Amino acid sequence: MRTTAIRQKLHQFIDNAEEKRVKAIFTLLEDEITQGEWEYTDEFKKELDNRHTHYKSGGEMVSAADANKQIRKLLTTKKKK
The Cα–Cα gap between 35 and 59 comes to 34
Number of domains observed in the structure of the chain: 1
Show the domain range for 48.
1-58
Structure confidence by residue, pLDDT tens digits, 18-58: 999 999 999 999 888 877 667 788 999 999 999 999 999 99
Contacts of 9 (CB under 8 A, 6+ apart): none
Whole-structure pTM value: 0.41
* pLDDT at residue 32 in the model: 81
- Identify the pLDDT of residue 17: 95
Tell me, yes or no, whether 4 lies in a domain: yes
